[in-house]
Amino acid sequence: MKFHPKFVVWELTLACNANCKHCASNAGLKREGELDTSEAFNLIEQLENIGVESVFLSGGEPTLREDFYEIAEKITSSNMSYGFITNGLVKLEIDFFKKYRPFAVGVSIDGTEKTHNEVKRYLNAFKKT
């Protein structure tokens, strides 16, 4: 019996605009040697070829990648679905998401306004999110 993943979580970047106390990835700066756009597209094609159905983009803050929208579009055009998690501290292109609908969007909220701001180490994070 041959097995292959149906669902993949891809840590797209370590770049992050927050400094969360609980960050398991130790995110902040972009990781040295992160895949460039063509390498990312190649990986997407490989995932499609082995039968992956859904890709969940995480980070860091995945939307900080300059090619985030290109990657999401490529996943969709490769007959897979995508989702992502965001800290909500970025401006998102809503019209893009109307066209290339993610199966899920996770937004990190870490408690009350005071707690959330303290955890994120970001002034007014709660209101901005």
Over residues 40-89, the pLDDT tens digits come to: 999 999 999 999 999 999 999 999 999 999 999 999 999 999 999 999 99
State the average pLDDT over residues 102-127: 93
Q: Within 10 A of 99 (CB to CB), how many other CB atoms are there?
A: 9
For all residues of the chain together, what is the average pLDDT?
Answer: 93
Q: What is the pLDDT of residue 44?
A: 98
Domains detected in the chain: 7-128 (3.20.20.70)
Q: Which of 2, 3, 7 is nearest to 81 (CA)?
A: 7
Model confidence, pTM: 0.91
Q: What is the pLDDT of residue 33?
A: 94
Using the predicted structure, report yes or no on whether residue 1 has a pLDDT greater than 80.
no
Q: What is the pLDDT of residue 53?
A: 97
DSSP string, 7-27: EEEEE---B-S---TT-SS--
Q: What is the pLDDT of residue 3?
A: 82
Over residues 29-40, the pLDDT tens digits come to: 888 999 999 999
Beta strands in 1-80 (DSSP E): 7-11, 54-58
Tokens of 33: 């040697």
Q: What is the pLDDT of residue 26?
A: 77
Residue with tokens 């899920």: 104
Which is it for the CA torsion 89, 85, 17, 123, positive or negative?
positive
Residue with tokens 């040295």: 32
Q: What is the pLDDT of residue 28?
A: 83
Q: What is the pLDDT of residue 21?
A: 84
